[in-house]
Structure formats: structure tokens, C-alpha cells
């Protein structure tokens, strides 16, 4: 079988439409919103700050803590029961590890940086959208970072390598599928998150990891434009009602 | 190759390349990695000869000795008070550094400072573990009367104060408010309620637009419009 | 709500002079924006921005067995998540008592107004009924979450469309054109008390120094369908009269805004 045309009509290398903005949660020290197609994520950063109990802190260097959560109405099917599922806990952990390599922990000893990620709707690639939003929120908060991080799921549907799988592609039944979420640093294109579900040959995997670099540059462009855009004139918003 | 890749007053983001070559010196929110210099925070580029500096536009207050700060008393300890500086680290005000009057051992500390009180204090020491010591002994330090408290980014404080205090003097003259600005970005305002709102809005505007040019003129116009007062230009003798 | 003496003293002085912490009157809401359909995975959704306070509500439909004591009635459930994205004071973990109170007050207004006839949600008596869950998630807390959550829940219910049912199972990929015919629009309005002063829609800085508050949920006929007094302070019976008057007036204004929202 051959996967000749993508279910949503995109080119094989084409990312879904992206949206990015920062400073969207005024109470937070830094925040961002990132959307990739039908998957969107809010991220809020609180910190560096003190936390209790104190033994969670490290006197030698700072601690980064990421927490991923789907809003109950954000799943493709049934309601998602609130509370940390095993999946959410694992995603929280790999998200933390995706961002740690670029954070300068020595800049905030004895303090903790909390990153909370909350998704209002998902259509595959949720941990990747979460990481893109989190990296933006950390930059918005002024946390010292040696580089920006982007993430997207590359995959394989049948005989083709596809970029940024949507839910329907993940669920493709007519041939082998591989879903590979990847996070990369921008400058050096080093991998900070790599997971895989499905089946793929080592050659296809190598090809996928090469192809992803171009996609990462596009994501980075969106992130930078959101960060710098905050300092340009505020754009017109939906006309509010006056009571 | 030896080259600066950005212009003065550019806004840069973490990981953005600023310069290449060993003759340049990174300063502020910039660092060197091999041959190149990069920014490590969102900030404003300031080029001075060979120094490539990034002034951060975001981030919490980094406590420094001799800074005057404003904080809130959050706990009463055996020998003093714990003070929240609305930054990453708490501070401690020891009894011996608090008042000129002698305080007996076991005396009720709430007579002097209660939980919820705001104080202006000076930082006397910061350890490598970021433990911060304060003193309220000194001119204009101590408990603040009830007033309006606001928080801005500590990196915008210089702009709010202005060259030789000119921006702050202009705001005070326009609003007739007493205003104390802490280096940690916490600001205390006291005056007529309507003028407190104007002072608050003005300072918030500076916080948001500190990186732009022509700000002083815009602020002056805004204050003149709201108060009907004619304000002297920055730099004039008062 | 923390009791913050210095902050309270100052705000009382400001109120006494006829002002508050921004340029609004004491009975004026902040800029209100309601956007429906903000979550494509929900069967109905809405986000509400009240000044800088921002919440999002989503409605999910499911087919479940009814409760044994009401075999011919559908089920309505309201849940509020005080997401830690919204405030440094919100923590990860099970709902705090404040989140539970928020959910129960919004729920009470919806349920007691009978805006949905639960019997119309029955599919097969004793076996299958529609289970409607309304989840409200906070995104930024700048005061007065309750009123924002109440509006978001209503707007999400107005936006909701039943999903298709295929062979007795819900097919979430297909929606019908059938919505919930809301019989009432119960609007919660919370009035806050500071000494002898009353005001509505406080920002966070104003909210943390309040003595007490009363939420009054009303419908367009003028009936009250829920009440909740909260906070550590006391309110007088005259306060209640004034608060109810104000809630009716502001509730009607908010109802008009909701009606105009597509």
C-alpha cells in the first residue's frame, strides 16, 4: 500500500498552521500560547521561587519542574478525567528533560522554576505543542537559557515520512505507522526529546530525523516572532462589551 | 571572522547570535560559547566598543548588597522577621538591624512590625546561597504607612526613576503622590486615590514601554493631559 | 481571601473617598469578552475574559447509566479546575476547597433554575441517559472568578451540540445540529463587602482585602435561584437587600451581553 495523499491534504513536509503568542497570562512570571493545527497549549512559568517542603530545592543549583495537563474537554473522544494519569506524569517528565539541557540552573540555586502546561484542545502532537509553549514561556519569564527549544512529531505512515502527524494519521489502519515526537535545540539541532510509538526501519528513522531540522527552523521562526512581537505595538483585539 | 551580528537597541532572544570572534566581550545577559557570543535572555542589545551587552527585558530581581528594596513581612521569627521581596528569594530582618531603640529579649515583636506590614529596607548582605539580610536602620527606611503597592519588572526601575530621578520627580509633581521605588520593582504610592490611580497607570505604562524611544515625552503629555498641569522638561533645575 | 490589614486600611480609605483601584464605578464590570467554540474537541465551549480574569469552559456529552433514584433523568455535572497556570497560589493536585465551592455555586445556579429539563436527556429509562459534564478551567486569576465561571458555563451550554449516536455509542467525530434548549439563563453576580461599602467585580488586588461576599444567582423573571455568602466577615440583612437589588440589575445587563454573543 502507498500513502499517496495526506488525510488533510498537506504536503508530506508541511507543518500544520501555527499560532504563537507570549504574555497571555498576566499573573504568571512568563507565559505563552502555542497552537499547531488542532492542538493548542497554554504554558505558564512561576519562578524562580521558593517552594515547600524545602528539601525539594537544591542549594547547589536550581530545579525545573514541568507539569502537563489536558483540560477535561480536550480529548478526541470521552471526557478526560481530571487528575494526573500515568501518561500525563510521563509527559511531564520528558517535557522537563526536553528543556533542562538549555536552562542555566546555576543562575538560581535554592529556588525552583515551575512550568505548567494546560491544553484546551488536542489533535495529536500535544506534548510537542506543550514543549514549544513551555520554551516560549520560559523565555518570556527571563529564565536564563542558552538556546531555544522546539518540538514536533515526525512520523511514518506506510511508505512515507510525514511531518507533524494529525490524530487521524496516528490512527491510520491501512499500513504501518510510527509516531516520533522530537524536541531539538535551535542552534545545534541536538535532540532533547525522542520517543517513538509504532514500527520503523533504521533507515527511515535516520531520514526522519534529518528532515525534521527544516521543520524546527519554521517553529523557531514562529517562537521568535512571538517573543519579539510582544515588544512591538499591541495588536487590535476582539471588541469587548461594556457593562 | 570577526563580526558583530546585531545592532544597538535590537531586541534579542535566548540563543540568538550576537557576535563572532574572540575580540568581543559578552556582558549582562550574554555568554560566550567557543568563537561566538549569544544572548541568554530576552533583552536589549547595548554595544560599547568591544563589549556586547544584553540588558534583560524580563526576569526576577537579583538581590544585591546596598540595594534599597520594598518588601512585606510574612513571618515573625525568634530574632526578627521574614520579609517577602516578591522575587526568587526571601529576606530576613534581624531585630538588631531593625530599630535604633533597644529591644529586650522576649519582647513582643508584633509591637514593631506585624505580618502584612510593608517596609522599605536596605540589603546588607547576600550569601552565595542567596540568603538575604536587611536593615531598616537609616534615613527613610522602616515601616511604610498604608498605601498602594504595585510591582513592575526590576529591569525597568532605572527607567521609572529616570536620569537623576527626573522621571520619578515628574510623576510626583504631577500627581502630588509620595512614591517610594524599590530596586526589586516593588513601588509604594500614597496620595489622593484618583492620583494614586494615575501614578499607577503611568508607572505601568513605563514598565510596558521602557524599551521604546520618545517615552519621556509621551509620559509628560499623558500626565499634563490628565492633570491639566504644565510640567517642566526633564533636565530643568527644580 | 487573606486578611491583609495594611492593604485593607488603605482600600477602605480609597472607597471612602468614592474611588477604587481603577477608574471604574463600584457597580461597573470590567471589559467583558465572551467567545464561543474555543475548543474544537468539546461539544460546546466558551472562553470568558473579564478584565484580565480569563476562564474557559467545555461541555462534554456521554451516555451513561442513570442514578438509581432518578432512572428517567439525565445527569448534569459541574467541575472547576483552579489550574496552576492561573495563579501562584493554585497548586497541582485535587481541587482545593475554593475550587469545590466555585463549582458547587455555579452548579446550584444551573440546577435550581432548571435551565435544562433532565427528563429530556433520558434515552432509555433505567438504562441510558445523557451525562453532561461542564468543566471550567481557570487561565488567569485577576479576581472575581465566580462570575466569570458562571458566564463561561452558560455560554458553553449555549454553544453545545449533541454528538451523533451510532449503534448506541457516541461518535465524537460527528455532531448533530441539535443543541440544548436552555429554558432559563441563570446569571451569578457576586457583590463584595468592604466595611460599609459594596462593590462588584474586584481585581485581584481589590479582592484580597474584602471582608465578605455574597453571590446571588438570578433569572430574567427576577427570581433568585441560588445564594452563597463567602468570606470570614459578616453581612447585615440590609446588605443582603442591597446586594440582591444590585445582582438583579447587573444580571440583566450580563444576560443581554450573552444573548448578543453568537
CA B57 → CA A150, A188, B18, B40, C5, distances in Å?
Answer: 22, 25, 16, 11, 34
Residues B193, C6: C-beta atoms closer than 8 Å: no
Q: For B154, which residue in chain A has the nearest alpha carbon?
A: A142
What pLDDT does A237 receive?
Answer: 34
The shortest CB-CB distance from C6 to any of B116, B194, B200 is to B116
Dump strand ranges (E) for chain B: 3-4, 11-12, 17-20, 25-28, 30-33, 36-39, 43-48, 51-56, 68-77, 80-84, 90-94, 118-126, 132-135, 142-143, 148-151, 178-181, 186-190
CB–CB of A109/A148 below 8 Å? Answer: no
The DSSP letter of residue A26 is T
Contacts of B164 (CB under 8 A, 6+ apart): none
Helix (H) or strand (E) holding A187: none
Give yes or no for residue C3 having a pLDDT over 70. Answer: no
| Maximal CA-CA distance, chain C | 66
What pLDDT does B234 receive?
Answer: 52
Query: Which runs of consecutive H residues, i.e. helices, occur in C160-232?
Result: 204-207
Residues A240, C85: C-beta atoms closer than 8 Å: no
Residues A82, C79: C-beta atoms closer than 8 Å: yes
Q: Residue B183 in 3-state DSSP?
A: coil
* Sign of CA pseudo-dihedral B154, B155, B159, B164: positive
Length of chain A: 243
Angle (nearest 5°) at CA C105 between C102 and C108: 145
Last residue of a domain, one of B11, B26, B56: B56
Interface subset of C 195-234, CB within 8 angstroms of A: 204
Residues B15, A143: C-beta atoms closer than 8 Å: no
The proportion of chain C whose per-residue pLDDT surpasses 70, expressed as a percent, equals: 98
Task: Give the chains touching A; criterion: ≥3 Cβ pairs < 8 Å.
Answer: B, C
Q: How many CB atoms lie within 10 A of CB A71?
A: 28
The proportion of chain A whose per-residue pLDDT surpasses 70, expressed as a percent, equals: 95
The predicted-structure confidence for A100-136, as pLDDT tens digits, reads as follows 999 999 999 999 999 999 999 999 999 999 999 999 9
In a domain, residue A13? The reply is no
Residues A121, C42: C-beta atoms closer than 8 Å: yes
Rg, Å, chain C Cα set? 19
Cell 468543566 locates to: C135
Which residues on C lie below 8 Å from A71 (Cβ)?
A: 39, 56, 58, 81, 135, 137
Contacts of A25 (CB under 8 A, 6+ apart): A31, A42, A44, C54, C85, C86, C139, C140
In a domain, residue A1? The reply is no
Give yes or no for residue C233 having a pLDDT over 80. Answer: yes
Tell me the CA end-to-end span of chain B in Å, nearest whole number.
51
**What is the DSSP pairing of strand A112-121 with strand A149-157?**
unpaired
Give yes or no for residue C213 having a pLDDT over 70. Answer: yes
Residues A241, C32: C-beta atoms closer than 8 Å: yes
What pLDDT does A236 receive?
Answer: 32
In a domain, residue A173? The reply is yes
Cβ–Cβ contact A7 with C under 8 A:
no
pLDDT band, very low/low/confident/very high, at A231 (cuts 50, 70, 90): confident
The predicted-structure confidence for A27-43, as pLDDT tens digits, reads as follows 999 999 999 999 999 99
> What is the spatial distance between Cα C107 and Cα A89, in angstroms, rounded to a whole number?
30
Last residue of a domain, one of B107, B124, B143: B143
Give me the DSSP letters along A143-176: --BSS-EEEEEEEEETTEEEES--HHHHT--SS-
The shortest CB-CB distance from B146 to any of C9, C17, C23 is to C9
The shortest CB-CB distance from A27 to any of C28, C141, C253 is to C141
Last residue of a domain, one of B28, B56, B84: B56
CATH of the domain at A24: 3.30.230.70
> What is the spatial distance between Cα A44 and Cα A136, in angstroms, rounded to a whole number?
9
Query: What would the grid cell of residue A171 be?
Result: 490512527
> What is the spatial distance between Cα B41 and Cα B36, in angstroms, rounded to a whole number?
16
Confidence check on the interface: ipTM exceeds 0.90, yes or no: yes
Rounded to a whole number of angstroms, the distance from the CA of A182 to the nearest CA of chain B is 19
Report the candidate in B180, B105, B168 with the shortest Cα–Cα distance to residue B142.
B180
> What is the spatial distance between Cα A196 and Cα A192, in angstroms, rounded to a whole number?
14
What's the domain count of chain A? 1
Give yes or no for residue C101 having a pLDDT over 50. Answer: yes
The shortest CB-CB distance from B193 to any of C7, C9, C17 is to C17
Q: For A238, which residue in chain C has the nearest alpha carbon?
A: C33
In a domain, residue A234? The reply is no
Query: What would the grid cell of residue C66 be?
Result: 442513570
> What is the spatial distance between Cα B151 and Cα B204, in angstroms, rounded to a whole number?
9
What's the domain count of chain B? 3
CATH of the domain at C128: 3.30.230.70
Query: What would the grid cell of residue B176 be?
Result: 502630588
> What is the spatial distance between Cα A146 and Cα A135, in angstroms, rounded to a whole number?
12
What's the domain count of chain C? 1
**What is the DSSP pairing of strand C128-140 with strand C44-50?**
unpaired
Residues of C in CB contact (< 8 Å) with B are: 3-7, 9-10, 13-14, 17-19, 21-23
Residues C33, A241: C-beta atoms closer than 8 Å: yes
What pLDDT does A200 receive?
Answer: 95
Tell me the whole-structure pTM to 2 decimals: 0.95
Task: Give the chains touching B; criterion: ≥3 Cβ pairs < 8 Å.
Answer: A, C
The predicted-structure confidence for A40-56, as pLDDT tens digits, reads as follows 999 999 999 998 888 88
CATH of the domain at B115: 2.40.50.140
The proportion of chain B whose per-residue pLDDT surpasses 90, expressed as a percent, equals: 79
Domain that holds residue A166: 18-229
Rounded to a whole number of angstroms, the distance from the CA of C215 to the nearest CA of chain A is 18
Query: What would the grid cell of residue A13 be?
Result: 513536509
The DSSP letter of residue C208 is T
> What is the spatial distance between Cα B118 and Cα B142, in angstroms, rounded to a whole number?
9
The shortest CB-CB distance from B194 to any of C9, C10, C19 is to C19
* B19 and B90 both lie in a single domain: no
Domain that holds residue B197: 148-227
The shortest CB-CB distance from B90 to any of A50, A108, A148 is to A50
In a domain, residue B63? The reply is no
Dump strand ranges (E) for A18-139: 18-22, 30-36, 39-49, 63-70, 112-121
In a domain, residue B87? The reply is yes
Query: What would the grid cell of residue C199 be?
Result: 462593590
Residues of B in CB contact (< 8 Å) with C are: 114, 116-118, 146-149, 192-194, 196-197, 200
> What is the spatial distance between Cα C215 and Cα C188, in angstroms, rounded to a whole number?
6
What pLDDT does B192 receive?
Answer: 96
Residues B193, C22: C-beta atoms closer than 8 Å: no
* B8 and B78 both lie in a single domain: no
The DSSP letter of residue B97 is G
In a domain, residue A8? The reply is no
Q: For A113, which residue in chain B has the nearest alpha carbon?
A: B88
Please compute the mean of the pLDDT values over residues A204-230 and round it to a whole number: 96
Average pLDDT of chain C is 95
Average pLDDT of chain A is 93
The predicted-structure confidence for C13-53, as pLDDT tens digits, reads as follows 999 999 999 999 999 999 999 999 999 999 999 999 999 99
Domain that holds residue C64: 5-260
Residues B116, C7: C-beta atoms closer than 8 Å: yes
* B74 and B23 both lie in a single domain: no
Report the candidate in B119, B34, B122, B126 with the shortest Cα–Cα distance to residue B83.
B119
- Interface residue of A28, A103, A231 to substitute, partner B, most B CBs within 10 Å: A231
Amino acid at each position: 500500500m502507498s500513502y499517496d495523499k495526506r488525510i488533510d491534504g498537506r504536503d508530506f513536509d508541511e507543518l500544520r498552521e501555527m499560532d504563537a503568542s507570549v504574555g497571555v497570562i498576566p499573573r504568571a512570571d512568563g507565559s505563552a500560547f502555542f497552537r499547531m493545527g488542532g492542538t493548542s497549549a497554554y504554558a505558564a512559568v512561576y519562578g524562580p521561587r521558593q517552594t515547600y517542603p524545602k528539601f525539594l530545592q537544591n542549594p547547589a543549583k536550581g530545579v525545573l519542574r514541568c507539569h502537563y495537563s489536558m483540560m477535561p474537554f480536550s480529548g478526541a473522544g470521552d471526557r478526560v478525567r481530571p487528575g494526573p494519569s500515568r501518561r500525563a506524569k510521563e509527559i511531564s517528565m520528558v517535557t522537563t528533560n526536553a528543556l533542562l539541557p538549555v536552562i542555566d540552573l546555576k543562575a538560581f540555586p535554592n529556588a525552583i522554576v515551575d512550568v505548567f502546561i494546560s491544553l484546551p484542545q488536542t489533535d495529536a502532537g500535544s506534548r510537542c505543542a506543550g514543549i514549544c509553549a513551555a520554551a516560549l514561556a520560559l523565555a518570556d519569564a527571563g529564565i536564563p537559557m542558552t538556546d531555544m527549544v522546539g518540538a514536533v512529531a515526525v512520523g511514518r505512515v506506510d511508505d512515507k515520512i510525514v511531518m507533524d502527524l494529525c490524530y487521524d494519521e496516528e490512527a491510520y489502519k491501512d499500513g504501518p505507522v510510527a509516531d516520533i515526537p522530537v524536541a531539538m535545540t535551535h542552534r545545534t539541532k541536538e535532540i532533547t526529546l525522542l520517543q517513538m510509538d509504532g514500527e520503523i526501519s533504521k533507515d527511515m528513522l535516520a531520514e526522519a530525523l534529518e528532515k525534521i531540522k527544516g521543520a524546527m527552523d519554521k517553529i523557531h521562526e514562529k517562537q521568535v516572532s512571538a517573543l519579539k512581537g510582544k515588544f512591538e505595538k499591541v495588536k487590535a483585539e476582539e471588541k469587548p462589551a461594556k457593562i | 571572522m570577526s563580526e558583530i551580528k546585531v545592532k544597538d537597541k535590537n531586541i534579542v532572544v535566548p540563543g540568538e547570535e550576537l557576535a563572532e570572534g574572540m575580540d568581543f566581550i559578552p556582558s549582562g545577559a550574554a555568554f560566550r560559547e567557543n568563537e561566538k557570543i549569544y544572548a541568554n535572555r530576552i533583552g536589549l542589545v547595548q554595544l560599547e566598543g568591544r563589549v556586547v551587552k544584553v540588558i534583560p527585558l524580563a526576569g526576577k530581581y537579583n538581590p544585591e548588597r546596598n540595594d534599597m528594596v520594598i518588601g512585606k513581612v510574612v513571618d515573625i521569627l525568634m530574632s526578627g522577621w521574614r520579609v517577602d521581596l516578591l522575587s526568587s528569594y526571601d529576606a530576613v530582618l534581624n531585630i538588631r538591624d531593625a530599630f535604633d531603640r533597644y529591644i529586650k529579649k522576649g519582647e513582643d515583636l508584633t509591637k514593631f512590625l506585624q505580618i502584612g506590614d510593608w517596609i522599605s529596607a536596605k540589603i546588607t548582605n547576600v550569601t552565595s546561597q542567596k540568603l538575604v539580610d536587611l536593615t531598616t536602620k537609616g534615613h527613610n527606611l522602616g515601616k511604610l504607612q498604608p498605601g498602594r503597592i504595585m510591582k513592575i519588572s526590576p529591569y525597568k526601575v532605572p527607567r521609572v526613576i529616570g536620569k537623576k530621578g527626573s522621571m520619578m520627580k515628574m510623576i510626583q509633581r504631577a500627581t502630588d503622590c509620595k512614591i517610594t521605588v524599590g530596586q526589586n520593582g516593588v513601588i509604594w504610592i500614597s496620595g489622593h486615590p484618583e492620583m494614586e490611580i494615575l501614578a499607577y497607570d503611568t508607572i505601568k505604562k513605563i514598565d510596558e514601554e521602557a524599551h521604546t524611544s520618545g517615552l519621556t515625552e509621551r509620559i509628560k503629555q499623558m500626565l499634563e493631559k490628565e492633570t491639566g498641569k504644565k510640567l517642566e522638561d526633564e533636565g530643568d533645575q527644580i | 481571601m487573606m486578611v491583609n490589614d495594611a492593604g485593607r486600611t488603605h482600600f477602605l480609605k480609597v472607597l471612602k473617598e468614592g474611588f477604587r483601584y481603577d477608574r471604574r464605578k463600584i457597580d461597573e464590570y470590567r471589559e467583558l469578552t465572551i467567545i464561543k467554540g474555543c475548543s474544537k474537541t468539546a461539544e460546546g465551549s466558551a472562553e470568558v475574559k473579564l478584565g484580565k480574569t480569563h476562564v474557559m469552559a467545555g461541555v462534554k456529552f456521554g451516555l451513561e447509566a442513570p442514578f438509581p433514584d432518578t432512572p428517567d433523568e439525565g445527569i448534569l455535572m459541574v467541575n472547576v479546575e483552579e489550574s496552576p497556570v492561573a495563579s501562584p497560589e493554585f497548586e497541582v493536585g485535587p481541587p482545593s476547597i475554593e475550587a469545590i465551592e466555585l463549582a458547587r455555586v455555579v452548579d446550584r445556579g444551573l440546577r435550581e433554575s432548571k435551565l435544562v429539563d433532565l427528563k429530556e436527556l433520558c434515552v432509555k429509562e433505567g438504562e441510558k441517559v445523557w451525562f453532561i459534564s461542564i468543566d471550567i478551567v481557570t487561565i488567569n486569576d485577576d479576581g472575581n472568578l465566580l462570575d466569570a465561571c458562571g458566564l463561561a458555563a452558560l455560554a458553553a451550554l449555549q454553544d453545545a451540540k449533541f454528538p451523533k449516536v451510532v449503534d448506541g455509542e457516541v461518535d465524537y467525530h460527528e455532531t448533530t445540529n441539535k443543541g440544548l434548549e436552555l429554558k432559563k439563563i441563570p446569571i451569578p453576580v457576586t457583590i463584595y463587602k468592604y466595611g460599609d461599602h459594596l462593590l462588584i467585580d474586584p481585581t485581584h488586588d481589590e479582592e484580597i482585602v474584602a471582608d465578605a461576599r455574597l453571590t446571588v444567582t438570578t433569572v430574567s423573571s427576577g427570581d433568585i435561584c441560588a445564594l452563597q455568602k463567602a468570606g470570614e466577615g459578616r453581612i447585615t440583612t440590609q446588605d443582603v437587600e442591597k446586594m440582591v437589588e444590585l445582582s438583579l440589575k447587573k444580571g440583566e445587563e450580563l444576560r443581554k451581553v450573552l444573548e448578543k454573543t453568537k
